[in-house]
Amino acid sequence: MFKIICITDRKNCCEDYLLRLEKIAAAKPDRIILREKELIGIDYTRFASLSMKICRKYDIPCSIHSYTATAEKLNAKDIHLPIVVLRSFSDYIRNEFQVIGASVHSAEEAAEAESLDADYVVAGHIFETQCKYGLTPRGLEFLKSVCSSVNIPVYAIGGIKPENIESVRNAGASGACIMSGLMTCKDPEKYMKELRNAVIE
């Protein structure tokens, strides 16, 4: 099944973040990754604690992004890491977490992540997006090369919408990560349905 993953971005959220997260969780994405790179230490831990409660309420898998100390404190077993962090702490990560994701930017990095026991990789950015304003997207050929380089799921990220999500699936991706679309749309449940309906199974 082609998966839809929500990446949080509270700074660009169009309403109260926790209210928006509740609406997104109710719309049943396949996973929520708590990105929020500008938060550190106790601020991220508080944010993650509140977010994880909502995810548990709706039985949505939830990944801590980058902060292994927060994951330990909250007894979280899902972690998402930049490839450089996974590379540096692979033995520790492998022993401490049940689900390991990695962000990659090349087929070589994807293969490395798989060798380090990542369960999935997120690859991008695929299309133009305000989150990477001014940066040239890597495109569908890049995505195809990443998908063909590994045997684990590849989730595409960057500018993915109902209008182009099918092309991501056709490139070999196992799913798509949506950030600004879910953080800013008028109705997350309706938007989730549009995303799922646009993918031909």
List, by residue number, the catalytic residues: 125
Contacts with 46 (C-beta within 8 Å, 6 or more apart), sequence order = none
Q: Two tokens at 35?
A: 């990105």
Look at the chain and count its residues: 201
Q: What does the block give as tokens for 157?
A: 């990220």
The whole-angstrom distance between residue 155's C-alpha and the CA centroid of its chain comes to 8
Question: How many CB atoms neighbour CB 45 within 10 A?
Answer: 18
Asked if 198 and 163 touch (Cβ cutoff 8 Å), the reply is yes
Amino acid (1-letter code) at residue 157: I
**DSSP β-bridge partners for residue 157:** 124, 177
Which ranges of 27-160 would DSSP assign to H, the alpha helix?
41-57, 68-73, 83-88, 90-96, 107-115, 139-149
Residues 63 and 9: their CA atoms lie apart, in Å, by: 14
Q: Are 86 and 93 in contact (CB under 8 A)?
A: yes
